Structure 1
Amino acid sequence: MARWPWWVQVGGLYVAARLVSAWIFMAAALHQGVNPWFPAKPDYWSFVNIWDARWYGEALQNGYPAVLPTDGAGNVQENAWAFYALFPMLGRVAAGLTGISPASALTMIAMVSGLGAALVIYKLFRLRASHRTALWGTVFVSTFPVSAVLQVPYAESLNLLLLATALLLVMERRYLWAMPAVVLMCLSRPTGVPFAAMIGLLFLHRVWQHYSAAEAGRSRDTPHSVPQLWSLAGLTAVSGIGALLWPAIAWAVTGDIQAYTKTETVWRGHDLVPFKPWFDTGILLFGPVLGVLAPFVFVALFAAAMMCRPVRALGTELRLWCACYMGYLLIFLHPQTSTFRMLLPLFPLALSAALVSRSRAYRGSVVIMFVLLQIVWIVWLWAWAPLPGGGDYPP
């Protein structure tokens, strides 16, 4: 493969990774029992169209409710507003143009978007590493334990493509070109808030860098020129507006300013209280003493990881993105089994993992470990098995 064009290498490895995931899905489907969606032992296409895929299908076919559904006590019930519109909208267009079913259209978009994401991620990694290391980093993303979600009708692959594109354009300082990518990203999944925070902090850093260099008497060939700073300021404003766009749309349609947050918190069973869910989960897992300390230990370990040499090699933009996204999860996320899937936007750390060592044994072992954990993720979380109290852990 070394003589093949880079895009053939990346595309071939990504497709191979998705075939491995497909085999795992099919093997797990053979053991799937009675479930809420289809008969036991479903085929592959039925098996990947469950969980949130059904909600995206609902948004595609029926749109979003103008009135939030509630129970007898007035509590908002699960509804499509928790699922951003870009993915089902593209599915509707694809289904209309091709005549295929909505489920097939969403699956096709997810698979194509995943391939596109792998290509963009490689280009992003090449800004910080050699071809071979960038290729290994892309393979790590493609085989990550939750990477199987990139081929199911979820918006993760589309969001990953748009996020990687936005980060690539930011690193290349093409801030004006990044604006449409950021707006589309904000309409695919809830990554707009941490991205806006990252761009805002990056703008402040670049302004400080620019004027510090000027005051030190250095040449005007600073990291950012004045026009670039203005472009970055514009991207900061667009990112902030984009982060609020979907909640604003939900408000405009339903007339309820909290329509999105009320819907989003239905799945966690209580109102949004920043940071608190991490302590609740810590106490549940480790007890009243260690459970309170667990979030602080986690933050300390993540901060230490961000300071290590392989992560520093990512550069300012990617490190800042990882820090802002993890901060976003700490503030707003209710940690549970879906948390594993929500770690996918931290994909730049895959390049850091590849930079740890050039050893083929090390890198190959990481891929093998990821594939084994992918089996665990699919069998444990994707396949449905009733819990004693009803329901199942979501993937």
Structure 2
Amino acid sequence: MTGLGQPPAGLQTVLASGLRNWQLRAARWPWWAQVCGVYALARVFSLLVFLAVARHQGPSPWGPARPGYLDFIGIWDSAWYERIYREGYPAQIPRGADGRALENPWAFYALFPALVRAGNALTGLEWRVLAPLLATAAGFVAVLLVYKLFRQFAGHAPSLWGVVFVSAFPVSPILQVPYAESLNLALLAAGLYLMVRRRYLAALPVVVLMCLSRPVGVPFAAMVGLQLLWRIRRRERDPMPAAEFARLAALALVSCVAALAWPVLAWAATGDLRAYTDTEMAWRGGNLVLFKPWFDMGTRLFGPVGGILAPLVLAAAAALCLVSGPVRRLGPVLRLWCASYGLYLFAFLHPQTSTFRMLLPLFPLALAAALVSRSRAYRVCLLLMFLAGQIVWVTWLWSWAQLPGGGDYPP
């Protein structure tokens, strides 16, 4: 007699055999089909999570209760991108009576809405349909490039598991909504791949586009500069001909210029030197002081003593992660990128619930997670944790539920 709630032994055998046969067939697919299959399954799971949570969504600033899928994913910053798509950017920065900038579209980079506008001209499809399609398609391109990048450091199996972890990461539902994250991930993965392959001139247009999609230009420029210094320091063991030095130096220079492109464009369009920086401060409610927001948030969460120690412990943990064995296997470019981006977040970010989404560019660590152990049980357990995290993230942060003081935590 079988236990309560357990399928008969014969059914278990059939299911196990069917799963093994499916795995064997899938293993014979070309790498790109396996990668796309993994990503498609992850996005279907996220779709089901969105649909389930939308059924419990009450009225929100964007519409009535129980919205459909396309309406539900079109909220939060999606609405800002749609506004840019329809109206463009304001010629002046809106300011309050105290002179402080108000929230406005200049906080959001132009490449994603511009591509949707181009797609509209070609297909006639409107934002509501075209923007999620473009974001999802960019996600497919991103994971293909992520796999190609991971294969520079590991075999097929751990690289594919790295793609699994990127695809199922708790904030990965953002890759199928009208945000610029999937587009930026594709461009970032392409830029890092070209860096690893030392195709520095080919990386130039990719880096420029990346810097017009999301604000990752500063840490990327820092990474390229550090890589240049690293190559100079190791030139006796790893010779760097003059032509290669010139190409890498050119990429470093272009990266620095591109990192400043959006603030300069905002200045040129509005005549306001501080147009972009003041707009960013509108979401903070105060002036930027490097590193201070982390200690302020630490004090708020853990008290005066714990608030000082918590950011330092977090920074120490990040440093230990970067010198760990699995991360060292990623090579200098990816390690320098993770270090540069992590330092950028620590210096400039105002920590809040959106911080989880900001961790997505640290995607190379997904390969390190796959390299921690070859145990299938470990990898499957981590995958299940990520899938459960998606449910938590969508339910807690994407769904709107007004706080007692007004507003809600942003995703």
TM class by smaller structure: over 0.9
Structure with higher Rg: it is 2
Which residue in the other structure is 2:105 paired with? 80
1:266 aligns with 2:282: yes
- Indicate if the aligned counterparts of 1:92 and 1:105 stay in contact, CA closer than 8 A: no
Residue 331 (1) aligns with residue 347 (2) = yes
Q: Secondary structure of the residue that 2:282 maps to in structure 1? A: coil
Query: Which amino acid in the other structure matches residue 199 of structure 1?
Result: V
From 237, 240, 253, the equivalent of 2:256 is 240
Q: Is the 8 A contact 1:159 1:185 kept in 2?
A: yes
2:177 paired residue number = 152
Residue 216 of structure 1 is matched in structure 2 by none
> 1:124 is matched with which residue?
149
Cα distance in 1 between the residues matched to 2:215 and 2:112: 13
- Displacement of 1:38 in angstroms is 1.2
Secondary structure, counterpart of 2:344 in structure 1: helix
Q: Which residue of 1 aligns with 2:296?
A: 280
Q: Paired residue for 2:232?
A: 207
| CA offsets 1:101-125 (integer angstroms, 9 cap, x no match) | 1232221110000010000000000
Query: What residue ranges of structure 2 are gaps of 5+ in the alignment?
Result: 1-25
Q: Which runs of 5+ in 1 are unaligned?
A: 214-221
* Aligned with 2:42 (options 2, 17, 25): 17
- Any residues of structure 2 matched to 1:103-252 within 5 Å, and which? 103-210=128-235, 212-213=236-237, 222-252=238-268
Matches within 5 A, 1:293-308: 293-308=309-324
State the AA in 1 paired with 2:112.
F
> Match of 1:358?
374
CA distance in 2, matches of 1:147, 1:224: 38
SS at match of 2:283: coil
AA at the equivalent of 1:386: Q
State the 1:72 CA deviation.
2.5
Corresponding residue for 2:73? Answer: 48
CA distance in 1, matches of 2:146, 2:315: 26
Structure 2-normalised TM-score?
Answer: 0.93
1:392 equivalent in structure 2: 408
AA paired with 2:62? W
The code of the aligned residue for 1:393 comes to Y
TM superposition shift of 1:226 = 2.2
d(CA) in 2 for partners of 1:303 and 1:103? 42
Q: Residue type of the partner of 1:296?
A: L
- Using the TM superposition, give the Cα deviation of residue 154 of structure 1 relative to its aligned residue in structure 2, in angstroms: 0.3
* Paired-residue identity, %: 59
Q: Which segment drifts farther, 48-57 or 225-234?
A: 225-234
For residues 28 and 124 of structure 2, the distance between their equivalents in structure 1, rounded to whole angstroms, comes to 39
> Which of these residues, 76, 83, 88, is aligned with residue 58 of structure 1?
83
Partner-residue secondary structure (3-state), 2:365:
helix
- 1:81 alignment partner, SS class: helix
Gap change, CA 1:14 and 1:73, over 3 Å in 2: same
1:342-357 equivalence runs, <5 A: 342-357=358-373
SS at match of 2:27: coil
Matching residue's letter, 2:40: V
Distance in 1, matches of 2:30 and 2:223, equals 33
Aligned amino acid, residue 57 of structure 1: E
Q: If the length of structure 1 is used for normalisation, what is the TM-score?
A: 0.97
Is structure 2 residue 307 aligned with structure 1 residue 291?
Answer: yes
TM-fit CA distance, 1:225 = 2.4
1:305-338 deviations in Å (ceiling 9; x for gaps) = 1111000000000000000000000110000000
- Residues 196-234 of structure 1 show CA distances to partners (whole Å, capped at 9, x for unaligned) of 000001001101211x44xxxxxxxx3432211110000
CA distance in 2, matches of 1:224, 1:348: 25
For each residue in 1:350-377, what CA deviation from the matched residue of structure 2 results, as whole angstroms up to 9, or x when unmatched?
0000000111111011110000011000
Determine the structure 2 residue equivalent to 1:219: none
Instruction: Tell me what 1:217 maps to.
Output: none
Question: How far apart in 2 are the matches of 1:251 and 1:71?
Answer: 19
Q: How many residues align?
A: 386
Rounded Cα–Cα distance in structure 1 between residues aligned with 2:46 and 2:151: 26
2:386 to 364, 367, 370: 370
CA offsets per residue over residues 104-161 of structure 1, 9 Å max, x none? 2221110000010000000000000000110000000000000000000000000000
Aligned amino acid, residue 317 of structure 1:
V
Q: Which runs of structure 1 show a deviation greater than 4 angstroms over 4 or more consecutive aligned residues? A: none
Q: Deviations over 1:69-125 (max 9, x none)?
A: 112232211100000000110011011211111232221110000010000000000
User: Which segment is superposed worse, 339-348 or 266-275?
Assistant: 266-275
> AA paired with 1:357?
S
Shift of 1:193: 0.1
1:15 CA displacement = 0.5
- Hey, what does 1:218 align to over in structure 2? none
Letter matched to residue 310 of structure 2: A
Deviation string, structure 1 residues 46-79 (Cα, Å, up to 9, x no partner): 0000000000011111111111111223221110
Local SS of the residue matching 1:78 = coil
SS of equivalent to 1:267: helix
